[in-house]
Amino acid sequence: MVDLTRKFDVLVVGGGNAALCAAISARRSGASVLVLEAAPRFYRGGNTRHTRNMRCAHDSATETLTGPYTEEEFWDDLLRVTDGDTDEELARHMIRQSKDVLHWVAAQGVRFQPSLGGTLSLGRTNSFFLGGGRAMLNTLYLTAERLGVEAAYDAEVVALEIDTGMFLSATVARGGERITVRAATLIAAAGGFEANIDWLKTYWGEAAENFLIRGTRYNRGGLLKALLDNGVGAVGDPRQCHAVAIDARAPRFDGGIITRLDCVVFGIVVNKHAQRFYDEGEDVWPKRYAIWGRLVATQPDQIAYIIFDATALRLFMPSLYPPIEAADIRSLAQKLKLDTDALERTVNDFNAAVRPGTFDHTVLDDCRTEGLSPPKSHWARPIQVAPFYGYPVRPGITFTYLGTRVNKEARMVMSDGKPSSNMFAAGEIMAGNVLGRGYAAGIGMTIGSVFGRIAGQQAAANALN
């Protein structure tokens, strides 16, 4: 049983990748470390439990990566997906550090495996955790425990005492009690506020009732709110988030990776009026999958349907649920409760606009539509071979981008621009510094590992000096 009345050098709030990287790094730098995790032990680890890979720069192929991924290429990718909405100095710093962090994570016992040939084509850029995020996380917990990091579960931080940029104590709700925990420094690694539907509603209105949360129910943003209320500078647009299209039949929380649908590029996507609303073939899927949640969120009733035919069925990883199948488009419309004439018209118009080309889903191929609005720029093939299929999809929120402003030391910056004297942040809670919008697969874990490691070193140095 952890003694919460003892004063620690470093208090880490959160229990996912960012928290564990921070805790291990602080402990290895000689500090005493306490981790407070809101979830019970079984559910420890937040969204990290669901991950598969992380994106790090590297100059040459490795045992598990098929080729080099230079800092410059990483930066170009980030610039493209964020449309330039990123802090260049911080982002370049992160990318530079990502090279070494890959080895550092491995040195903590985490093992990697080659990427499976799948829909995201990430074998060159992203390192996949052997056994997935859960195995990675269990390894980090084991390493942390062996080093002497102490962890308390069912320990939600509900309030903070902060005096002009200086952390003094945290209030923890535990077993019906409120306990004051003191530490010389604070590392906030408690994720975003995506599981707090009421908070989401302040920006999205009632539409948020139709959002599904892909990860943990424990990322409710209580710590983020306490920090912002106490003068920490905010970063990021509160409406921006990583959101993908997921199977509408998924549970409200924690559906994880198996509810995601990667078949948008192989068909068309229509709204509840059976109308297309966006170019399904705009760019390669790893650079576009993360915009589809937001696109569906802006459609009536936050629902859409991916429609495809028998030629596409085996080209992508299916979701946990089977697609809805019918012998013809009109029957499919009936099963999906769509207007039959409208869906038939949409499919016919699409088919008529498809120009001949050579289909290749691994490159930006020349299969496109002509004279159709919105166009389908690549991978456009007529939907004409029975049986026909449909997947109902809803916005699946992965994480939100509103966060705490930090500098290169992972030190929080107050709203007056002054650096905090003893507060640091890592992971989703500060992801908005790097990700103003958009996403490229695997960056979430990079942000957590890089800034977690830095935050741990800096917090330890702060506490021990």
Ligand X SMILES: Cc1cc2nc3c(=O)[nH]c(=O)nc-3n(C[C@H](O)[C@H](O)[C@H](O)COP(=O)(O)OP(=O)(O)OC[C@H]3O[C@@H](n4cnc5c(N)ncnc54)[C@H](O)[C@@H]3O)c2cc1C
Q: Figure out which of the listed residues 26, 29, 33, 45 binds ligand X, where binding follows CB under 6 A.
A: 45
Nearest-angstrom CA–CA distance, 164 and 340 = 62
Cβ closer to ligand X: 265 or 443?
A: 443
What lies within 8 Å, CB to CB, of 258 at 6+ separation is: 319, 320
Nearest-angstrom CA–CA distance, 363 and 281 = 11
Instruction: Kindly state whether residue 347 participates in binding ligand X, applying the rule CB under 6 A.
Output: no
Smallest distance, Å, CB 206 to ligand X? Answer: 23
Cβ closer to ligand X: 137 or 307?
A: 137
Nearest-angstrom CA–CA distance, 239 and 449 = 25
Query: For ligand X, what does the binding mask look like between residues 2 and 41, x meaning CB under 6 A?
Result: -----------xxxxxxx----------------xxxx--
E strands of 153-297, at which residues?
Answer: 156-163, 166-174, 177-188, 212-213, 234-235, 241-247, 268-271
Smallest distance, Å, CB 23 to ligand X? Answer: 11
Smallest distance, Å, CB 342 to ligand X? Answer: 33
Tokens of residue 126, six digits: 């992203």
Instruction: Kindly state whether residue 236 participates in binding ligand X, applying the rule CB under 6 A.
Output: no
Q: Figure out which of the listed residues 54, 235, 241, 243 binds ligand X, where binding follows CB under 6 A.
A: 54
Residue 190 backbone class (left: φ over 0; alpha: ψ -120 to 50; beta: rest): alpha
Task: Give bridge partners of residue 327 from the DSSP assignment.
Answer: none
Cβ closer to ligand X: 176 or 205?
A: 176
Of all helices (H) and strands (E), which one includes residue 96? helix 88-107
Smallest distance, Å, CB 69 to ligand X? Answer: 14
Q: Figure out which of the listed residues 53, 115, 299, 433 binds ligand X, where binding follows CB under 6 A.
A: 53
Cβ closer to ligand X: 140 or 367?
A: 140
Smallest distance, Å, CB 174 to ligand X? Answer: 10
> What separation in angstroms does the CA of 41 have from each of 21, 38, 134, 180, 202?
18, 9, 13, 21, 31
Query: For ligand X, what does the binding mask look like between residues 171 and 210, x meaning CB under 6 A?
Result: ------------------xxx-------------------
Nearest-angstrom CA–CA distance, 42 and 444 = 22
Residue recorded with tokens 């209580």: 222
E strands of 74-230, at which residues?
Answer: 112-113, 126-129, 150-152, 156-163, 166-174, 177-188, 212-213
Asked whether the beta carbons of 262 and 285 are under 8 A apart, the reply is: yes
Cβ closer to ligand X: 19 or 414?
A: 19
What lies within 8 Å, CB to CB, of 134 at 6+ separation is: 45, 49
Instruction: Kindly state whether residue 51 participates in binding ligand X, applying the rule CB under 6 A.
Output: yes
- Quick count: other Cβ atoms within 10 Å of Cβ 261? 26
User: Pick from 217, 327, 307: which is nearest to 264 by CA?
Assistant: 307
Q: Figure out which of the listed residues 236, 438, 442, 456 binds ligand X, where binding follows CB under 6 A.
A: 442
Asked whether the beta carbons of 150 and 33 are under 8 A apart, the reply is: yes
Asked whether the beta carbons of 308 and 267 are under 8 A apart, the reply is: yes
Of all helices (H) and strands (E), which one includes residue 395? strand 388-400
Cβ closer to ligand X: 162 or 380?
A: 162
Query: For ligand X, what does the binding mask look like between residues 112 and 151, x meaning CB under 6 A?
Result: ----------------------------------------
Nearest-angstrom CA–CA distance, 65 and 128 = 9
Smallest distance, Å, CB 382 to ligand X? Answer: 33
Task: Give bridge partners of residue 166 from the DSSP assignment.
Answer: 163
Binding residue count for ligand X, defined by CB under 6 A: 43
Cβ closer to ligand X: 17 or 185?
A: 17
Smallest distance, Å, CB 297 to ligand X? Answer: 16
Select the span of 42-50, 230-238, 331-339, 409-417 touching ligand X (CB under 6 A): 42-50
Smallest distance, Å, CB 286 to ligand X? Answer: 11
Collapsed DSSP state (helix, strand, coil) of residue 432: helix
Select the span of 50-58, 197-205, 284-292, 314-322 touching ligand X (CB under 6 A): 50-58
Smallest distance, Å, CB 392 to ligand X? Answer: 19
Instruction: Kindly state whether residue 403 participates in binding ligand X, applying the rule CB under 6 A.
Output: no
Instruction: Kindly state whether residue 256 participates in binding ligand X, applying the rule CB under 6 A.
Output: yes
Cβ closer to ligand X: 14 or 390?
A: 14
Instruction: Kindly state whether residue 412 participates in binding ligand X, applying the rule CB under 6 A.
Output: no
Smallest distance, Å, CB 428 to ligand X? Answer: 4
Cβ closer to ligand X: 258 or 342?
A: 258
Nearest-angstrom CA–CA distance, 378 and 383 = 14
Asked whether the beta carbons of 184 and 9 are under 8 A apart, the reply is: yes
Smallest distance, Å, CB 308 to ligand X? Answer: 23
The residue ranges that bind ligand X (CB under 6 A) are 13-19, 36-39, 45-48, 50-54, 156-157, 189-191, 214-216, 218-219, 222-223, 256-257, 398-399, 427-428, 442-445, 448
